Amino acid sequence: MTAGLLGAVCALAWGGIAFASRYPGQSLGPVNALLGLTAAGLVVLTPWLWLVDSGLMWNGRGFAFAALSGLSLAIGGVFFFTALTRGPIGIVSPIAGGLYPGFSVVIAVFLGARPELPQWAGIAVTLAGIVLVGAALRRHAGGSKARLRDLLVTAALSTVAGVCYAVMFSAAREGTAAMGQVQTTWLARVIALAATLVYFFALQKRERLGLRLRWWPFFLVQGTVDAAAFIILFTASQLPDGELAVVASSAFSAVSVLLARFVLREAVTPGQWAGVVAVVLGVGMVSAQW
């Protein structure tokens, strides 16, 4: 159960980050917020890589998987931060947090893992929870077709983010096995930052670069916690029960929804609560049986 406990630590970290990211996302724009978080993570990781770890050593397989992880992190991050900025968190986090472990297990199957019936049942319960969250969209829309369309877009963004994060973790796990946790995390962050910058300057037109100085203490705290959580998760993924870490970490959705409800006073319907419980229960079924 060590991997599961480490995954739970990641869930607390990412749940807090997901909740807090709404603030810079709404003030600076979602892509600026993602750039700030990614850059701050590199500020923390770079001296650790070169002064504490062994530095960057060439490994073709490790580099390839770290690059795939970073690209998936950038794409998933753009979709997830955009969804968080649009809100509500009670829709975004359960969808992304539920799909993330489910697709991780599916990817593990393609890589040779053989889940048993309890794992598939857990995935089914998780997906049922996502459906319950999705069913709350009409109630949040309040009869407005325009608002319903906005919520459907938010749900779609969250879905893409969850799938991308599953690819990110699976690729990072392979990269970690080849060249270690810190190197994989650092290289993935470099690729993610580069890919996000390309998107920022070449593909999107809504935001201008505006990482205001007053937000940097916030980004540095976020980046430190986020980078530490990634290293913990990648380390846990190398344990015998490594898949347990990713499914436990997906409980971040419950953490962020609770924070949104009691701090932001965000409305959460009974159906959403049922969906969040089902997502956490489904994740628990997978993790307990893996």
Residues constituting the chain = 290
Cα–Cα distance for residue pair 77/278, rounded to 1 Å: 25
pLDDT for 143-156, tens place per residue? Answer: 788 888 888 999 99
Residue 178 lies in domain:
2-289
pLDDT for 83-122, tens place per residue? Answer: 988 878 888 888 887 777 777 777 777 777 777 777 788 8
State the pLDDT at residue 246. 67
Q: How far is CA 195 from CA 42, 165, 198, in A?
A: 14, 15, 5
Cα–Cα distance for residue pair 259/237, rounded to 1 Å: 27
Contacting residues for 286 by C-beta, under 8 A, at least 6 apart: 101, 105, 115, 118, 119, 122, 123, 126, 247
Task: Give the model's confidence band at 157: pLDDT under 50 very low, under 70 low, under 90 confident, else very high.
Answer: very high
Instruction: Tell me how crowded residue 123 is: count the other CB atoms within 10 A of its CB.
Output: 22
State the pLDDT at residue 164. 94
Contacting residues for 230 by C-beta, under 8 A, at least 6 apart: 41, 172, 185, 188
Across all residues in the chain, what is the average pLDDT? 83
Q: Is 101 helix (H, G, I), strand (E, B) or coil?
A: helix
State the pLDDT at residue 286. 66
Token pair for 83: 């969804």
pLDDT for 224-243, tens place per residue? Answer: 898 788 778 777 877 777 76
State the pLDDT at residue 163. 92
Q: How far is CA 175 from CA 27, 99, 168, 187, 220, in A?
A: 35, 22, 10, 10, 25
The total number of structural domains that make up the chain: 1
Token pair 């962050």 is found at: 189
CA quadruple 97, 102, 108, 110: dihedral sign: negative
Q: Tell me if 56 sits within 8 A of 187, measured CB to CB.
A: yes
State the pLDDT at residue 67. 94
Token pair for 155: 């749900």
pLDDT for 56-82, tens place per residue? Answer: 787 888 899 999 999 999 999 999 999
Taking Cα atoms as reference points, which of 162, 95, 105 lies closest to residue 133? 95
Alpha carbons within 13 A on the beta-carbon side of 46:
8
